[in-house]
Amino acid sequence: MGLRLPMPTHPESRTISNPLTHPPRLPLVAPSILAADYARLGEECRSALEAGGDLLHYDVMDGHLVPNLALGVDMLASLKADLPEAFFDVHLMIERPDLFAKPFADAGAGHLTFHIEAIDGDNARALIDTIHDLGMSVGLAIDGPTPIEQADNLLAHVDLVLVMAIRAGFAGQAFDPAALDKIRYVRERVPATTRIEVDGGVGPGQASALLRAGADVLAAASAVFRVSPDQRASVITQLRGLEHQ
Ligand code: DX5
Ligand code: ZN
């Protein structure tokens, strides 16, 4: 991947730096819009960024890999048109993620994470190359019940490892502390430039343990969006580990 010079397919992607590969600071906080008010989604995205969110986590679900439906390609294109400076971290919880790499690149995704449970090893390697060739960074997600060792052969090839601290599918579930051991396992095996994102049940109360374990991107839906907009900056500051409750 080091010698590739990918050409982003979405015009705005060419001008926006990727905070996952070129972080302006660490840790990064990624508000997950799954728990936003969908009737006012553009406004909600803007609120989360103005409150200090570094990038927006965008959950896509197909009702097959996970038992829920969420967000799609056209919604992302509309949000990107409304917020051209926003960086979208797209988390694909779908079967056949290979079919959607180009559509999400064209819609304005800057990063694409797919699930290890959705694809076998050889096809995963090919998909990683495809996503890089489309100009996006690549993440590999490991669902809560999946043993972390299944990711061993792919860790060296991705820009980000997404450790789920819940079973993927819904916002608002309780954080499973088993994620801390998984994060430590990954951090011992990847270079410091590989991001480790944690997703699911993440709130200010978990931040310091997660950061100490080696996570450097915190995705949070309920903690950011199920509080009033004037509380979001404080929540994001606490997630960054600068203040603790
Ligand atoms: C769930 C999604 C998460 C979800 C997290 O499968 O991948 O990104 O939005 O929601 P909270 O932070 O409420 O657990
Ligand atoms: Zn997610």
User: For each of the chain's 245 residues, which pLDDT tens digit applies?
Assistant: 334 444 445 555 546 899 999 999 999 999 999 999 999 999 999 999 999 999 999 999 999 999 999 999 999 999 999 999 999 999 999 999 999 999 999 999 999 999 999 999 899 999 999 999 999 999 999 999 999 999 999 999 999 999 999 999 999 999 999 999 999 999 999 999 999 999 999 999 999 999 999 999 999 999 999 999 999 999 999 999 976 43
Which residue from 51, 86, 90, 54 is spatially nearest to 216, judged by alpha carbons? Answer: 54
Question: What single-letter DSSP state applies at residue 32?
Answer: B
Show Cβ contacts of residue 196 under 8 Å, excluding neighbours closer than 6 positions: 160, 161, 163, 183, 186, 187, 190, 214, 215, 216, 217
Report CA torsion sign: 173, 193, 107, 225.
positive
Say what the pTM is: 0.94
Catalytic entry in 62, 159, 199, 216: 199
Residue 169 lies inside a defined structural domain of this protein? yes
Asked if 199 is an active-site residue, the reply is: yes
Residue 3 lies inside a defined structural domain of this protein? no
Residues with CB under 5 A from ligand 2 (ion): 59, 91, 199
Residue 7 lies inside a defined structural domain of this protein? no
Q: From ligand 2's centre to the CA of 242, what distance in Å?
A: 23
Q: Is 237 in the pocket of ligand 1 (CB under 6 A)?
A: no
Distances (CA, A) of 164 to 12, 35, 202, 232: 29, 16, 10, 23
Give the whole-angstrom CA distance, residue 128 versus residue 167: 23
Structure tokens at 136: 């996006």
Residue 104 lies inside a defined structural domain of this protein? yes
| Residues of the domain holding 59 | 28-239
Asked if 59 is an active-site residue, the reply is: yes
Q: From ligand 1's centre to the CA of 175, what distance in Å?
A: 10
Domain tally for the chain? 1
Residue 234 lies inside a defined structural domain of this protein? yes
Residue 16 lies inside a defined structural domain of this protein? no
What CATH number does residue 234 fall under?
3.20.20.70
Residue 13 lies inside a defined structural domain of this protein? no
Sheet architecture: strand order including 137-142: 28-31, 217-220, 195-199, 160-164, 137-142, 111-115, 88-93, 56-62, 69-70
Residue 18 lies inside a defined structural domain of this protein? no
Q: What is the CA radius of gyration of the chain?
A: 16
